[in-house]
Amino acid sequence: MDARASEGGVAVEASTGAPVIRPSRTGPAAGVPAAGPAALVLGGLSLSHLLNDMMQSLLPAIYPLLKQAYALDFGQIGFLTLAFQLTASLLQPVVGLFTDKRPLPFSLATGMLLSLCGLLLLSHAGSYALLVMAACLVGLGSAIFHPEASRVARLASGGRYGLAQSVFQVGGNAGTALGPLLAAFIVVPLGQGSVGLFALAALAGFVVLSLVGRWYRDRLAAGAGRAKKGGAAGRALPRSKVVATIAVLLVLIFSKYFYMASLSSYFTFYLIHRFGVSVQESQLYLFVFLGAVAAGTVAGGPIGDRFGRKVVIWGSILGVLPFTLALPHMNLFWTVVMTVPIGMILASAMPAILVYAQELLPGRVGLVGGLFFGFAFGMGGLGAAVLGELADRTSIEFVYGVCAFLPAVGLLAAFLPRLESPRAA
């Protein structure tokens, strides 16, 4: 390739004219410090992510209990979800933008305290207004947690950014899977007041994040220095190109999480309705899918570190299409088998997409984390609502037939600038 650019800048490939982003070299390898990842910090972030997402998944899991106890209609249940999503999803980019300009090492622990207060209020709420307030507090805690935690994960990565994001995100996947289980075995038998027991998990998260905050405070200056030295590539691209690339990444997130919502929210209903399995069997098959999602999240980051982000993005979004197209036509055994590659391939995308966006917007790690986590969460909620309405008007089988084509949106990855892999750099 005949290309001209300063290190850390943008080369233009002579044959195609496409911009090629080259990571800056600030260490032994491109952008990779000599020290390895801070394993204890990444482990603490992953554990805290598990606790955070477990707590936020409790709210929708106990909707049937709240509906009966407070005589709520579906509109009021929907407003509870809206209150939670407005704080948990829409505020994340705002929090990320603020902390990019003014990092707050102990905001992570503060967010966990807000979630703790939300859980305590949820366990003792005596009115619908207090339920809404509790949902907002849990959502606000989540909105504060994700952008700063994503920043700390990058700082603790030792240059292995994809690996760090995978370790961080797999905790959230595990927490999302645990929430409904704990609600089924603890909250449903013991009642609304037992939600307060999960405040102990929030307290544990507060302790862990306080220690992470101390580590973050001590290394904040060094981390900021590295951020200024590296990643100039995003600035060298024309602003319009950066904006268009971020828009493509968000569309890919839309396709991923809309399809994920079809499985996480309605897969049990699909299995019961089409194959006549029991509720217990359907839950077991759902956890097969959730386990595959966790495995894919772990694999996606390191593969991106090794072979480049765009390779993972192409494979994880478009590569799943043959499996999603085949799923609606399979028998029970093969339906369950198909969910394993679907979960693994789709979930591998998020760490690569997030790191790719961070490289496009150097110095905006909090904004990227808040924007992409918030958008992903919002698309999951919107997808559940839209697909539920579609299922009411048609059938659950029709929903899966339509969703099978969503991964075809991955063709838009052709418009992403090629990032040179760390090995090539």
**Structure tokens that stand for 208 in this block:** 């862990």
Low-confidence ranges of the chain (pLDDT < 50): 1-35, 224-235, 421-425
**Three-class DSSP category at 159:** coil
- Cβ partners under 8 Å of residue 101, min gap 6: none
- By residue count, the chain amounts to 425
**Three-class DSSP category at 54:** helix
For residues 147 and 301, give the distance between their C-alpha atoms in angstroms, rounded to a whole number.
18
The domains found in the chain, sorted by start residue, are 31-230 (1.20.1250.20), 234-425 (1.20.1250.20)
CB 332, CB 275: distance < 8 Å = yes
For residues 96 and 368, give the distance between their C-alpha atoms in angstroms, rounded to a whole number.
7
For residue 376, the tally of other CB atoms under 10 A from its CB is 22
pLDDT at position 207 is 94
For residue 17, the tally of other CB atoms under 10 A from its CB is 7
pLDDT at position 410 is 79
pLDDT at position 307 is 78
pLDDT at position 222 is 59
CB 367, CB 93: distance < 8 Å = yes
pLDDT at position 358 is 82
